[in-house]
Amino acid sequence: MSLTETQDGPLPSTSFAGASGECGTPWWKGAAIYQIYPRSFQDSNGDGVGDLAGITRRLHHVARLGVDAIWISPFFTSPMRDFGYDVADYCGVDPIFGTMADFDALVAHAHALGLKVIIDQVYAHTSDLHPWFAESRSDRGNPRADWYVWHDPKEDGTPPCNWQSVFGGPAWTWDARRRQYYMHTFLKEQPQLNMHNPAVQDAVLGAARFWLERGVDGFRLDALNHAMHDPLLRDNPPAPTDGRVRTRPFDFQLKTYSQSHPDMTGFVERLRTLCDQFGAVHTVAEIGGDHPQADRRAYTAGDHRLNSAYGFDFLYAPALTADFVAETLQRWELAPHETGGWPSWAFENHDAPRAVSRWGPSDPRQRDLFARVKMALLMALRGNVILYQGEELGLGQDEIPFEQLQDPEAIANWPLTLSRDGARTPLPWDDAPLGGFTAGSPWLPLSSGNLARAVAVQESDPASLLHFTRELLAMRKGHPALRHGPLTDCKAEGALLSFERAQGGQRLRCLFNLSPDPIALTEPLTGEVVLAVNNATLSALPAYGALWISS
């Protein structure tokens, strides 16, 4: 059986023969990347937790979508306090996910299918069980004593400054062995690395080299603007009230000094230099915070820093409106292109509630219409697009009862929190009770609503969102204007969003009705209809209708 065709049907054509695509453009520019959360993708051994062998088994589904790359969330050795984002060995595979041989087999199979492989790198912190931290906390004079952020208490014994943890409470924990506090932006089991220390930078770059030598094609850089702190430990100022419900002390501060230190760009340049030694390796930074745009621009400026960055603009947005989309896009597009960087966009991921539940109407039929216009909008954006596993199926946010929660943030801040578990439930491959995910007891439950949207169910329906997503990805790949062209003339007029994408002699006008009410198009539209979503026409956009028009 050939690599380009299996019993499940032919694969879309790919163009990954070298480091660049058409006209010498790097493969990653305009790419569609599929995020895999390994715990919930496919379990191969019946323990209820997804693993690397399971990913390899199901990669054909991803390749058939027509994406360019996969991003695999952490699979490294970890006590799993934060499900892999608390790394205990940067160069090891946690046994729950398999072995290094399983990882090598996954990379080989992905490459055979025409898929690039991107993995997470977590440089802001490690697990408290990492050998580096065990040595660092042993005393104040050991070789790694300054590898983490330690500081004496104030005279009254309180922490050295007012910084707060994302997961609740102070960002400082007392350690009796050193008689000092150590910093942790997230869980107390995730001590902060001191990335100001050149030896620490050398160590994490050594880990990056390890994976590059094993054949990975890029890195997604977790919480990168959290990785350097203000050495003077100045107090963060209070955040002004903005009407939102504050569920954590973290929300009461502007993170002026606890993140976004300007020296981080020096490390970014070192990482880019390393990646350039391995060819067209893609680097994309996760940039969070209240005002992330400055960091996104700084980290992606020029040709000597990262390739791309994304934030939480859409991931935490409560509604998808034309005004909001236009404002968000213009934060990138208004910057000069030579300094503004190349954006990446995600509507869903493992840290945010499913978009169809967050943005879509409650009526199931209307929600199906919304899922299509949402997907068409994502595929029309300038930059890279990131699809989260199950987004191609229109999976909804699962409600996880408190007694079944696994997410430490949801448990700590119950009930007023996002509950990331609801977006991390296993991917349903069929509509059997366990969804074809496992032969055991799944680590999180599968809902009947999402089982009804399983891969096998949608494969048998030519009108399904799964088939529609494949069509959109093929169109994006086949239209240089969508993949590489600038985004211009962006307008929001009520619920109507419109913009143009152009490249060479090709020009596409893209229109989206982001409401359940029809919109009559008063100005006559001309041109070839490339895409009509939900029965849209040149004269009217019905509920959640969209058009791509070539001129």
**Residue range 332-374, pLDDT digits in tens:** 765 544 455 799 999 999 999 999 999 999 999 999 999 999 9
- Does residue 153 form part of some domain? no
Does residue 498 share a domain with residue 418?
A: no
Does residue 344 share a domain with residue 236?
A: yes
Q: What are the beta bridge partners of residue 507?
A: 502
Does residue 79 share a domain with residue 64?
A: yes
Question: What is the structure's pLDDT at 24?
Answer: 76
- Does residue 151 form part of some domain? no
Confidence band for 8, pLDDT divided at 50, 70 and 90:
low
Structure tokens at 318: 């409560």
Give Cα 392 to chain centroid, integer Å.
15
Does residue 336 share a domain with residue 437?
A: yes
Does residue 120 share a domain with residue 13?
A: yes
User: Residue 15 pLDDT > 70, yes or no?
Assistant: no
Average pLDDT, the chain: 93
Does residue 402 share a domain with residue 287?
A: yes
Distance between CA atoms of residues 406 and 309, nearest Å: 28
Place of tokens 């323990």: 47
User: Residue 12 pLDDT > 80, yes or no?
Assistant: no
- Does residue 191 form part of some domain? no
Q: CA dist 299 to 196, 260, 518, Å?
A: 17, 10, 41
Q: Which residue has the higher pLDDT, 525 or 57?
A: 57
Confidence band for 14, pLDDT divided at 50, 70 and 90:
very low
Question: What is the structure's pLDDT at 551?
Answer: 85
Among residues 481, 502, 518, the one where a domain terminates is: 481
In the three-class reduction of DSSP (H, G, I as helix; E, B as strand; rest coil), residue 339 is classed as: helix
Rg (CA), the chain: 23
Total number of domains constituting the chain: 2
Least confident of 55-69, 217-231, 238-252: 238-252
**505: CATH:** 2.60.40.1180
Does residue 104 share a domain with residue 15?
A: yes
Domain extent at residue 529:
486-550
Structure tokens at 332: 């990138």
Which phi-psi region, left, alpha or beta, contains residue 168 (left: φ > 0; alpha: ψ -120 to 50)?
A: left
**47: CATH:** 3.20.20.80
pLDDT tens digits, residue range 480-492? 999 999 999 999 9
Confidence band for 199, pLDDT divided at 50, 70 and 90:
very high
Give Cα 144 to chain centroid, integer Å.
32
Out of 43, 51, 82, 286, the active site residue is 286
- Does residue 165 form part of some domain? no
- Does residue 435 form part of some domain? yes
- Does residue 430 form part of some domain? yes
Among 437, 320, 314, 295, CA closest to 372 = 320
Among residues 444, 465, 481, the one where a domain terminates is: 481
Rounded average pLDDT over 44-58: 98
DSSP classification of residue 255: -
Rounded average pLDDT over 544-548: 98
Distance between CA atoms of residues 124 and 349, nearest Å: 20
Out of 43, 120, 222, 409, the active site residue is 222
Contacts of 377 (CB under 8 A, 6+ apart): 320, 325, 497, 512, 514, 546
Does residue 275 share a domain with residue 220?
A: yes
Q: Are 62 and 449 in contact (CB under 8 A)?
A: no
Structure tokens at 397: 């946010």
pLDDT tens digits, residue range 176-186? 999 999 999 99
Maximal CA-CA distance, the chain: 75
Structure tokens at 480: 């240089």
Give the relative orientation of helices 52-65 and 100-112 as an angle to the nearest 10 degrees. Answer: 10
Q: Which residue has the higher pLDDT, 139 or 419?
A: 139
Does residue 346 share a domain with residue 229?
A: yes
User: Residue 376 pLDDT > 80, yes or no?
Assistant: yes
Question: What is the structure's pLDDT at 9?
Answer: 58
User: Residue 522 pLDDT > 50, yes or no?
Assistant: yes
Q: Which residue has the higher pLDDT, 546 or 297?
A: 546
- Does residue 511 form part of some domain? yes
Distance between CA atoms of residues 497 and 57, nearest Å: 40
pLDDT tens digits, residue range 207-224? 999 999 999 999 999 999
534 burial type by CB count under 10 A (0-12 exposed, 13-18 middle, 19+ buried): middle
- Does residue 520 form part of some domain? yes
Interior angle at CA 36, CA 34 and CA 38, nearest 5: 170
Q: What percent of the chain has pLDDT over 90?
A: 85
Distance between CA atoms of residues 284 and 281, nearest Å: 10
Does residue 370 share a domain with residue 519?
A: no
Which phi-psi region, left, alpha or beta, contains residue 9 (left: φ > 0; alpha: ψ -120 to 50)?
A: left
Does residue 204 share a domain with residue 346?
A: yes
Q: Are 384 and 308 in contact (CB under 8 A)?
A: yes
Question: What is the structure's pLDDT at 7?
Answer: 43
Question: What is the structure's pLDDT at 290?
Answer: 78
Taking the CB of residue 321, how many other CB atoms lie within 10 A of it?
17
Among residues 481, 503, 518, the one where a domain terminates is: 481
pLDDT tens digits, residue range 101-112? 999 999 999 999
Among 110, 114, 118, CA closest to 33 = 118
Among 472, 506, 504, 507, CA closest to 380 = 472
User: Residue 174 pLDDT > 90, yes or no?
Assistant: yes
Question: What is the structure's pLDDT at 425?
Answer: 97
Active site residue 222: yes
pLDDT tens digits, residue range 403-453? 999 988 888 878 776 679 999 999 999 999 999 999 999 999 999 999 999
Rounded average pLDDT over 47-63: 98
Place of tokens 């909008």: 377
Taking the CB of residue 100, how many other CB atoms lie within 10 A of it?
12
Taking the CB of residue 209, how many other CB atoms lie within 10 A of it?
15
CA-CA-CA-CA torsion sign (105, 108, 109, 110): positive
Q: Beta strands 9-10 and 5-6: pairing type?
A: antiparallel
Does residue 262 share a domain with residue 242?
A: yes
Side-chain-side CA neighbours of residue 351 (13 Å) = 17
